Structures are given as structure tokens and as C-alpha cells.
Amino acid sequence: MKQKLRTSSPTIANTVLAAVCLGFGHKYKVTRRITKSIAELQCPRCKKEFGINTTAQALLPMDDELRSLHRELSNCG
């Protein structure tokens, strides 16, 4: 009978990946397109979320206020 190898806990893995992001930068992936110039991004390594506005060349950490603004903008179109 084979015994499964125990993998490290998700918390330790997330901490290591967050350290990779801290040292080498995030790897951005578009998770939601709001308008032509506004999108939501997520780093698949550390799971942090961001909002980007390509017109203003702004990248912001996602918070409740930004998420609410994106929700309102997506309901307008």
C-alpha cells in the first residue's frame, strides 16, 4: 500500500510565493475587464488583487472602495 507524501501547508506555500513576489515582483493576470481601459488583476502566486486604469497609467491595490467603483462602472454599460 502506497502512502501519500505530505505536502507543505497552504499557508507556508503562500508565504513563500508572497516572498517571491516581494523579491521579483507580481505576475499579473486579468481577472475581470470593466471597461476598455479599466480592469481587475490578480497575482496567481500570492493572490493579491489590483485595479488598473491604463489611461491614467495607475495600478492600485484592490480595496472595498475600488471594488464598489468597479461594480458601479460595470452596471453602467
In a domain, 17, yes or no: no
In a domain, 7, yes or no: no
In a domain, 38, yes or no: yes
Check: pTM over 0.85? Answer yes or no.
no
How far is the C-alpha of 5 from the C-alpha of 3, rounded, in Å?
6
In a domain, 39, yes or no: yes
Query: How far lies 40's CA from each of 11, 15, 52, 56, in Å?
Result: 24, 23, 6, 15
In a domain, 1, yes or no: no
In a domain, 13, yes or no: no
Binning pLDDT at 50, 70 and 90, where does residue 9 land? low
- Structural domain count, the chain: 1
pLDDT digits (tens, 9 = 90+) for 17-69: 788 888 888 999 999 999 999 999 999 988 999 999 999 999 999 999 999 99
**What is the extent of the structural domain holding 67?**
26-76
